[in-house]
Structure 1
Amino acid sequence: MSTDNEPLLSNAWCGDAAASGACSEQSTAWALRGALSIQRNLSGAAPALDLAQWQDPRVGWGVVLPDRDGFSDADKAVAADAPAAIRKLIAARGNAPVFRYRPEIAQDGRLQRYYPHRGPASLRLSGTRGTLVDTAVPRYLLIVGSPEQIPWRFQYRLQTDAFVGRLDLDEPGLERYVDALLNDWPGQQRDVDAPLLWAVDHGHPDITFLMRKTIAETLFKALVAGGFTPSLLTDAQARLEDFYAGLKRCQPAFVLSSSHGATFPLHDAVQLKAQLGTMLDTEHAVLDIGALLRAWNPAGAIWYAHACCSAGADRPSTFHGLVDEQSSLGRMLAAVAGIGPCTAPVPRALLGGERPLAAFVGHVEPTFDWTLRDPDTGQRMTDALIVDTLYTALHSAARPPIGLAMDGYYDAVAGLLLDHLDAIEAFNEHELGAEARARKAKLLAMDRLAMVVLGDPTVRLPN
């Protein structure tokens, strides 16, 4: 296989076909542009520190809000400008620290913190951690705000050094989510022993075939070997009515779906945004959120959705310039970027509903076949996500918080970005094939970073 000649496949469905595209003439320039500066610090934690215990002041939990004008430092220190539900959550968690996103310092991985009786401080994630001193940054951080207010790219940066989640809900949705979180998901019917896996497969060479093999079937086999009783709905059972029926039957605490995500119609930004990233079944029917909620009580459950834009969209696209602009993938990237940064409708509806989901894990923008199978070696690339993260960590007897379970998945980003820097240096030395190496390393790193947690990072599967 060749990374230069093979088109990129994505899990974006544009209404009549899945988006794909060959690398553009500008893809070398895209590959050689710098990516995020990444530092990993969590691996240096003291062995005696249990990172699952967010209540421990050496670990800690805090909130990240937009930095708004018109409020005093004292008001900003206590989140006086935050929605009432978030103020309630902060108080319930021991008057947890409040941090602010400011664009001019965010590029250096810094957060602003205000204090009632002295000037503000600009704090690095690489500094003191926990909540023992007021200049420390907790290891668990909940972003509250839309991607327009606090960009996705800043969430990517935070999650390389902290356990991060986001709530982008209206005030009634926040009230419902926080009340459920603080009261341990009342009315929940979660069955942790019966995960439900839904894998749409349109057959080779469609990317859903690869997703089924490397994601859904891999996790299914791991869960069976671990003593769980998962259900795998695929082939003829990959219709939406089978998915709804499976949810009603199993009432699972954990759901995995692999499918195309809706990225159509490209010419209608309003409708595109209204169904962005919504999962499509084997007949390309779009998931109905109302039917889903009538079948399933999602209270306190965790859903991993491997579908294009299942978490949201960004502008500009991280992958702008990678593929031919006239290809279906290039046109899809431009159309999705055109609607602006946003959170997808499915997680917003589930997290802010009457029986709130605990957490939703998904991608901003598309994910590609290169991140499932190495285009040069054919090696499967999903074990870190499926086996190490969603099975070994999330479903372990310890039941770690979702933020901690996901952390291991981001560990590879530092190595990939070092590969990217090495490839840039090799390109500057005129080494043959360096641009292809840079292209692949950057794509893999940015694709991994674009997987995000929506919901509080401290939620976990029940024991």
Structure 2
Amino acid sequence: MRKREWTVPCLALEAETGAYHSMVDTASLFAKLKSTTTQPVIRNLMTRTRLPRESAVCERGLMSGLDPESLEDAGWGLLFAEDDPRTDEILEALEPLWAKRAAEMGRPPIVFRGERGFRRTYRTASDFLEYHGVGHQAVDPSAGVPFYLLLIGGPESIPFPFHFDLQSQFAVGRLAFDSVDAYAHYADTVCTWDGVRSPHGLTTALFGPGHPGDRATWLSLRHLLEPLHDWLRHHREARRRRWHIRATLAEAALKKRLVDLLGGPDTPDLLFTVTHGVVYRPGHASQRARQGSLVCADWPGREAWSRGLVPHQFFGAEDLLPGADFAGLIAFLVTCYGAGCPAWDHFAFDDPESTGARALAPKPFMARLPTALLGNGRSGALAVVAHVERTWESSYYAPNIARNATDYFSVVWDLLNGKTVSSALSTVHARQAVLAARLNRHLLEPDDRPELAQRICAYWKAQDDARNTIVLGDPAVRLCRPERARPTSHNG
């Protein structure tokens, strides 16, 4: 059996140099925990990862007897920041969307605004929930907070950590547009495309380069994209329902192909990509516009290209065709910064005793590409699933484990079978809860063994990686009509 590996790269390249972005080296934390008492470091890690000291982790989902696929059971609502000056304008722009959800529920949606919305004084989702009389148990929408919650506004209005915390218990999505018109465009997209497809004949496109000498992308091909492609193509249900599975992998994953897949003639129903994301230094003029753009096979790898990236090597919002029609696409972008960027590094291992962290941006922001997909003026995407901050290969690869990407298999399967986008992500968020519980247990062990340091490093990265996967768009949208009634379940 091979020795387990604990240091892993992330899926990101620095735009100005072409270098790999902050491949985490756990040696410093390993040495710190090995050479001194662990307790000061552990206390700091617990604070910075916002983990409770209790070993129990809240289970995400509805109480038994309620169906998360039924909005009549689960409920749906909008959550604004208390001081959002555009609340009335955005509500008016979203009127077709919330009217549609009201019809599906048989009652008006709940709108959390003003003092009932997100307050600047809230440190965690618990503060919001306690204000509304809700605890950390299976969700009962009749208690006042519906299961499906659509956050309105970017991370400067409603911070990313609040979003992460809330989605550990509820089905959460987010919309953040500069223009009020974009909210209206999105509402029209949902009213046109939400759940209207048949579960038969759906098209899924897989896209992922394998750059020469690039460990992260080749592992993603071998352990995620190629197995997922084979599994879907040979599944008896895929044949019965005449699903079309298209894969553009390795050297074929060129930018010109992504142009066809994102609003071009080959736009699929479901797009699943695994690529490096483009990263800029904090405050760079292109950071907000291009960070999280998708690096394509046009980049030949570090050995052949030892300088900064150029625009023809990656795909960003500026590359979307004028008048592009995304036709209610759902996209899952596995890449660093694909959903957005916080102001501070979530994975700072270089000085584990420091309460400070490396700055990533002057202010947190949403990635431009998914925002453009959702707010498209003609026909936008229904939802984009992506990562805030970095994503690691640990989500799809682990030494000595034959198949570590089954969470992604489940997401794709559930989307193709008509589950809501948030329900389809339940396996990813369940993994975060499991990893957080294991991390908690190891943090509380009064033990200075080197193995403890290794496990802390591994579990910290892996649970943050799963936690940072979010839905952009309405969490209740679905790709198609379920072929048959979904069974009642308490899992969200």
TM-score range, shorter chain: 0.7 to 0.9
Matched, 1:242 2:257: yes
Residue in 1 aligned with 2:187? Answer: 178
Give 1:67 deviation, angstroms: 1.7
The 3 A distance-change label for structure 1 pair 446 and 453 is same
Residue in 1 aligned with 2:328? Answer: 300
Pick the aligned partner of 2:430 from 397, 400, 411.
411
The 3 A distance-change label for structure 1 pair 82 and 238 is closer
- Alpha-carbon distance in structure 1 between the residues aligned to 2:435 and 2:128: 25
Structure 2 runs not aligned, ≥5 long = 34-40, 300-312, 482-492
The 3 A distance-change label for structure 1 pair 371 and 218 is same
Give 1:103 deviation, angstroms: 4.4
Question: Residue 308 of structure 1 aligns to a residue in which SS?
Answer: coil
- Alpha-carbon distance in structure 2 between the residues aligned to 1:185 and 1:69: 28
Matched, 1:158 2:166: yes
Query: What do the CA deviations read for 1:49-102 (whole angstroms, capped 9, x no partner)?
Result: 321111x1x31001111122999xxxxxxx647542245544552431123122
The 3 A distance-change label for structure 1 pair 254 and 192 is farther
- Alpha-carbon distance in structure 1 between the residues aligned to 2:440 and 2:410: 27
Q: Which amino acid aligns with 1:195?
A: T
Higher mean alpha-carbon deviation, 292-301 vs 365-374, is at 292-301
Matched, 1:369 2:386: no
Q: Which amino acid aligns with 1:389?
A: V
The 3 A distance-change label for structure 1 pair 444 and 353 is same
Alignment of 1:443-454 (within 5 A): 443-454=461-472
- Alpha-carbon distance in structure 2 between the residues aligned to 1:96 and 1:267: 39
Residue in 1 aligned with 2:485? Answer: none
Query: What do the CA deviations read for 1:13-55 (whole angstroms, capped 9, x no partner)?
Result: 1132222242252475378434334743445732x4321111x
Pick the aligned partner of 1:25 from 25, 28, 49.
28
Query: What do the CA deviations read for 1:190-226 (whole angstroms, capped 9, x no partner)?
Result: 9952211111111454201111222222221222122
Residue in 1 aligned with 2:451? Answer: 433
Matched, 1:220 2:229: yes
Q: Which amino acid aligns with 1:61?
A: W
The 3 A distance-change label for structure 1 pair 129 and 26 is same
Q: Which amino acid aligns with 2:294?
A: M
Question: Residue 404 of structure 1 aligns to a residue in which SS?
Answer: helix
Structure 1 runs not aligned, ≥5 long = 72-78, 114-119, 325-332
Question: Residue 222 of structure 1 aligns to a residue in which SS?
Answer: helix
Question: Residue 353 of structure 1 aligns to a residue in which SS?
Answer: coil
Residue in 1 aligned with 2:154? Answer: 146
- Alpha-carbon distance in structure 2 between the residues aligned to 1:295 and 1:234: 27
Q: Which amino acid aligns with 2:128?
A: L
Residue in 1 aligned with 2:307? Answer: none
Pick the aligned partner of 1:209 from 218, 224, 241.
218
Residue in 2 aligned with 1:63? Answer: 78
Matched, 1:347 2:370: yes
Q: Is the 1:3–1:436 contact (alpha carbons within 8 Å) kept by the matching residues of 2?
A: no
- Alpha-carbon distance in structure 1 between the residues aligned to 2:45 and 2:266: 48
Pick the aligned partner of 2:269 from 240, 249, 253.
253
Question: Residue 357 of structure 1 aligns to a residue in which SS?
Answer: coil
The 3 A distance-change label for structure 1 pair 293 and 462 is farther
- Alpha-carbon distance in structure 1 between the residues aligned to 2:444 and 2:13: 37
Q: Is the 1:159–1:407 contact (alpha carbons within 8 Å) kept by the matching residues of 2?
A: no
Query: Percent of aligned pairs with the same residue?
Result: 21
Residue in 2 aligned with 1:111? Answer: 128
Q: Is the 1:194–1:250 contact (alpha carbons within 8 Å) kept by the matching residues of 2?
A: no
- Alpha-carbon distance in structure 2 between the residues aligned to 1:70 and 1:294: 31
Higher mean alpha-carbon deviation, 14-23 vs 167-176, is at 14-23
Higher mean alpha-carbon deviation, 97-106 vs 33-42, is at 33-42
Query: What do the CA deviations read for 1:100-152 (whole angstroms, capped 9, x no partner)?
Result: 12244452524269xxxxxx74544537622x4xx421111111110111111
- Alpha-carbon distance in structure 2 between the residues aligned to 1:382 and 1:291: 30
Residue in 2 aligned with 1:98? Answer: 111
Q: Which amino acid aligns with 1:443?
A: K
Residue in 1 aligned with 2:410? Answer: 388
- Alpha-carbon distance in structure 1 between the residues aligned to 2:277 and 2:199: 26
Q: Which amino acid aligns with 1:297?
A: D
Q: Which amino acid aligns with 2:126?
A: G
- Alpha-carbon distance in structure 1 between the residues aligned to 2:120 and 2:60: 24
Question: Residue 63 of structure 1 aligns to a residue in which SS?
Answer: strand
Higher relative contact order, chain-length normalized (CA < 8 Å, sep 6+): 2
The 3 A distance-change label for structure 1 pair 241 and 378 is same
- Alpha-carbon distance in structure 1 between the residues aligned to 2:436 and 2:457: 11
Q: Which amino acid aligns with 1:429?
A: D
The 3 A distance-change label for structure 1 pair 221 and 431 is same
Q: Is the 1:181–1:358 contact (alpha carbons within 8 Å) kept by the matching residues of 2?
A: yes
- Alpha-carbon distance in structure 1 between the residues aligned to 2:4 and 2:198: 46
Give 1:415 deviation, angstroms: 1.8
The 3 A distance-change label for structure 1 pair 305 and 163 is same
The 3 A distance-change label for structure 1 pair 296 and 234 is farther
Give 1:387 deviation, angstroms: 1.5
Give 1:315 deviation, angstroms: 2.0
The RMSD of aligned alpha carbons is 3.2
Higher mean alpha-carbon deviation, 217-226 vs 179-188, is at 179-188
- Alpha-carbon distance in structure 2 between the residues aligned to 1:44 and 1:127: 5
Q: Is the 2:337–2:389 contact (alpha carbons within 8 Å) kept by the matching residues of 1?
A: yes
Give 1:243 deviation, angstroms: 2.4
- Alpha-carbon distance in structure 2 between the residues aligned to 1:249 and 1:273: 28
Matched, 1:230 2:245: yes
Q: Which amino acid aligns with 2:266?
A: C
The 3 A distance-change label for structure 1 pair 219 and 69 is closer
Q: Which amino acid aligns with 1:312?
A: G
The 3 A distance-change label for structure 1 pair 351 and 250 is same
Residue in 2 aligned with 1:329? Answer: none
- Alpha-carbon distance in structure 2 between the residues aligned to 1:276 and 1:63: 28
- Normalising to structure 1: TM-score of the pair? 0.82
- Alpha-carbon distance in structure 1 between the residues aligned to 2:395 and 2:129: 34
